Chains A and B, each alone.
Chain A
Amino acid sequence: GDSVTQMEGPVTLSEEAFLTINCTYTATGYPSLFWYVQYPGEGLQLLLKATKADDKGSNKGFEATYRKETTSFHLEKGSVQVSDSAVYFCALVGGGADGLTFGKGTHLIIQP
């Protein structure tokens, strides 16, 4: 079945550092890919999405590019802030399926 693998956390960075959170996937067909973020005490919020190969999703300074050749969708941000501290989930929905398949989540901690 479909699966998503994310780098293990927690990831601890200083403010203004460059962020990469790796995400790779296995899926049948051509999935759509998503990054969700969960701030403490809140639900999952959509951060960005990409629906076909080479699409780049972007939002709030975060970016991720759908790489079909490497089955990856790595999340990047050029300069992180303390307010970016949260858990980040990579997810996909495969062709013909309804439900999202999630990675385990990566806990990001940004220190001032």
Chain B
Amino acid sequence: EPEVTQTPSHQVTQMGQEVILRCVPISNHLYFYWYRQILGQKVEFLVSFYNNEISEKSEIFDDQFSVERPDGSNFTLKIRSTKLEDSAMYFCASSGEASIRNQPQHFGDGTRLSIL
């Protein structure tokens, strides 16, 4: 069964540094998402991406965050100047072409980001 793959599985970065989290969505999917889960808290929506542009973003997704689909297979989340509170598990997801409400989102295994 096709999978969403995320790399790396664990990223350790110094505060203030830039970090890029990488995702390869399922190949025939057109909608892409990033979520995060701070330890002990809910999974929170960050951003959705469709047709090479941001479709929706949450209040969490401020100017320090950006997303990109640099080629036909990768989808990246960049955090420009990391803060301690950015430490979390980051999940990438993708879904198919049909109406979003009827298409489940398929998640990767996540990247654990630790900011020191």
Contacts and interface: CB of A to CB of B under 8 A. Distances in A.
Contacts of B43: 44, 89, 91, 100, 102, 105
Interface string B41-59: 1111111100000011010
A42 interface: yes
Which of B44, B58, B107 is packed against the most chain A CB atoms within 10 Å?
B107
A43 B109 contact: yes
21 contacts: A34-B104, A42-B109, A43-B91, A43-B110, A44-B93, A46-B105, A51-B101, A89-B43, A93-B100, A95-B101, A98-B33, A98-B45, A98-B100, A99-B47, A99-B56, A99-B58, A100-B35, A100-B45, A101-B45, A102-B43, A105-B43
Contacts of B35: 99-100
- B interface majority secondary structure: strand
Contacts of B6: 43
A102 B44 CA distance: 7
Interface residues of B, number: 28
Given A99-B45, A103-B42, A104-B42, A46 B104 contact: yes
A100 to B, nearest CB: 6
